Amino acid sequence: MPSTRPTCSNKHQQGRDLARKGACHTDVVHPYFSDETTPIAFAHRGGSPTGAENTFAAFEQAVSLGYQYMETDVHTSSDGVAVVFHDHDTARMTGEPGSISRRTWAEIQKLRVKGEPIPRLDDLLAAWPDVHWNIDLKTNASVAPTIKAIQRAGATNRVLLASFEGARLLRVRKVFPQFATSVTRGEIAALRLFGRKPAGGLAAQVPIRYGRLTVLTPRFIESAHAAGIQVHVWTIDDPTVVRELLDMGVNGIMTDRAEVVRGVYQERGLWKK
């Protein structure tokens, strides 16, 4: 069951205090967030300095640094296996062109990312039973295999499901309401423009800018917190920007440079390990 957290007073809080306390108007906290009172540091695709994204080696390195929250991506193989990989085509990361979803799991096992095998979601969930996962569902076909893998691992409370496709997330919420999900792009737009509270979703995961449009503003953060929504920002690798975001009161930062973000958190006394 979700835990409860006292509602903050209406008194204005400085950005740093807000960053420590999280979304100050959230009364009910999903178990995915219940252990976190500081802004979450996410290792984006493992945050690997070598570029071996979404591999066991990348996630293992992030865990060794003290990361407890990871961002990753899931496709499905042609025979229904939930596969941890970002791109639709395997050329960029493996040098072998072709759709990952048209390959069998046996074929995918032969591919390498910087010398590392492509993992199954089942194996990641089993390897680190205390790690929380932010999973980007890359296709409609990936939804069912991902849900089944999470359920097999008993990991429902340590997974947040995200997608750039709003309809995909809406279906997940309808069929699997026990799962934490991100806020859809349409809900983010309504929140940003009108302050409209999303019908579902626990975290607005946004870039600082989208093209010429500045998405992340103090007003947006205030509106999200008033609606009980956390604000997670991607993908931030500059320590100066990390400091600015913490001062603004964001609830999470996703990074490809795990050591950089850890360093800023350490200098502010936010790192737990």
Catalytic residues, by residue number, are: 44, 86
Neighbours of 113 (CB within 10 A): 23
DSSP codes joined into one string, 65-126: HT--EEEEEEEE-TTS-EEE-S-SBSHHHHS--SBGGGS-HHHHTT-EETTEEPPBHHHHHH
Nearest-10 Cα torsion for 148, 200, 166, 153: -20
| Cβ–Cβ under 8 Å, residues 142 and 164 | no
CA distances to 79, 84, 172, 196, 235 from 143, in Å: 14, 13, 8, 28, 24
Q: What is the DSSP letter of 9?
A: P
Cα separation of 262 and 255, whole Å?
Answer: 10
Q: CA separation (Å) from 225 to 39, 41, 182, 198, 255?
A: 13, 18, 14, 12, 22
The rounded distance, in Å, linking the Cα atoms of 166 and 200 is 11
